[in-house]
Structure 1
Amino acid sequence: MRQLKFLKIHSNLTAAGSKVCIVKDDGFDYLPPLRYLHWEAYTLKSLPAKFETNVLVELNLPDSSVETLWSGSQVLPLCVCR
């Protein structure tokens, strides 16, 4: 998934909970550098420590448990429109 740029995960509200289950102890500590991340009902309290935001355009985490996006400072590129 090194070339992955777009990730969209939907929660199935009509079923008994989400089909995506992440346990932090299982080693979920990395997401590739994404341009777009949409994840409904993300269950963890923070994004992976190794999540690179240098190409991130949109982050959408509706109905999620996120309390902290990342620790420390993130350098976000400045978009200059002409």
Structure 2
Amino acid sequence: MPGRSFRLTLTFDASPGRLRIDVTDARGDRWPLVQPPGAATETLHTGGRGLALVAALSDHWETVPYPPSGKTVRAELTTPNCG
């Protein structure tokens, strides 16, 4: 199906204990929207919860353009300081 392929990139930087996750797709026309917690909806959707999970589990996330017409959702997670 056109527009359904994606690329997943994981980058780990050991010194600060940071994991970066990039998910890139060709659908630059559809940018992600995250509903605020507790937002009322009239219908129960079966999809679209992925970014709510990303927002809850990551330290920071953003969406950036991926030329020529795609986008990348980038999330960063850091390990807690154990020292």
Asked if these proteins are the same fold (TM beyond 0.5), I'd say: no
Higher relative contact order (CA 8 A, sep 6+): 2
Structure having the higher strand fraction is 2
Structure of greater Rg: 2
TM-score norm. by structure 1 comes to: 0.26
TM-score, normalised via structure 2 length: 0.26
